[in-house]
Amino acid sequence: MTDQPTPPADGHDDRAGTTLTRETVEPVVARARFDDAGLLPAIIQDAVSRDVLMMGWMDAEALRRTLTEGRVTFWSRSRQEYWRKGDTSGHAQFVRAAALDCDDDALLVTVEQVGAACHTGARSCFDVDPLDPVTASAPAAATGPSDGAAA
């Protein structure tokens, strides 16, 4: 049996340090660059193993809820409604950290995962169908920017 962390009643987890509130989260939401559909990809990562568990979509309200309530909230494109991982399955995601990427157009959420992250029952959504790509190694004495941009 897995010990499930008890979510704080007020949505603020003292273990996480300073927390955002409904009043202080707005500058973060304003900074996020949502796509034309008003959505932001959210990559969910395990806080302990650092494995990527899944990717879901957030609109501005889902981002607000995730950053202020301590549980990951997504926007379902197919059902057109909010959903929190674990509300029906018990396989919840408790927020431990979050960061926008350098372009502010993707979110990384580090979580304490309880149970499986994937709806298939797999620990990660990326464990289901591994591909066999051509792989390469970096040159031993690589210098300069890795993306080919001028220095």
Q: CA nearest 58: which of 47, 46, 44?
A: 44
Residue 85, phi then psi, degrees to nearest 5? -55, 125
| Tokens 């709806």, residue located | 119
Q: Are 89 and 24 in contact (CB under 8 A)?
A: no
Enumerate the domain spans of the chain. 14-113
pLDDT of residue 61: 98
pLDDT digits (tens, 9 = 90+) for 65-118: 999 999 999 999 999 999 999 999 999 999 999 999 999 999 999 999 999 999
Q: CA nearest 73: which of 18, 4, 7, 5?
A: 7
Residue ranges in the chain assigned as alpha helix (H): 26-31, 60-69
Residue 93, phi then psi, degrees to nearest 5? -120, 115
H/E element holding 147? none
pLDDT digits (tens, 9 = 90+) for 140-150: 876 666 666 55
Q: Are 38 and 108 in contact (CB under 8 A)?
A: no
User: Does pLDDT of 128 surpass 80?
Assistant: no
| Tokens 């955002």, residue located | 20
Q: Say which CATH architecture domain 14-113 belongs to.
A: Roll (3.10)
Decide which of 120 and 141 is more confident.
120
